[in-house]
């Protein structure tokens, strides 16, 4: 995952459209999947993998925000809405991680 993310990020330019946030969406999607499987299967290593993907997704969001063409928000040109979706899936990943941690510790059953 990290190698693919690096290959994508090194081709970013200064003023990118909203599609630049898809790197965050993809990474957080992996975090959601791993956290969900961790909660269902009670496998600890999946929780750690989900946590790494979650933080990697947040780093990808900040990096994408630095390369995003901010005037797209005002002119409504392009796919700037992906920035909001990236934050939404980040919140979902965080919630799944909290749930997986609660189920693992036995406090939420």
Look up tokens 């290593």; give the residue. 45
**Burial class (CB within 10 angstroms; exposed 0-12, middle 13-18, buried 19+) of 86:** buried
Confidence of residue 87 (pLDDT cuts 50, 70, 90): very high
Say what the pLDDT of residue 30 is: 94
pTM for the structure as a whole: 0.82
* Structural contact between residues 17 and 78, judged by C-beta atoms closer than 8 angstroms: yes
- Whole-number mean pLDDT of the chain? 84
């Amino acid at each position: 995952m990290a190698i693919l993310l690096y290959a994508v990020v090194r081709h970013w330019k200064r003023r990118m459209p909203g599609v630049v946030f898809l790197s965050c969406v993809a990474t957080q999607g992996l975090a959601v999947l791993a956290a969900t499987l961790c909660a269902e299967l009670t496998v600890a290593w999946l929780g750690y993998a989900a946590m790494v993907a979650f933080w990697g997704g947040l780093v990808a969001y900040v990096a994408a925000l630095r390369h995003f063409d901010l005037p797209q928000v005002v002119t409504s040109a392009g796919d700037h809405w992906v920035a909001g979706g990236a934050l939404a899936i980040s919140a979902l990943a965080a919630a799944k991680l909290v749930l997986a941690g609660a189920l693992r510790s036995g406090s939420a059953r």
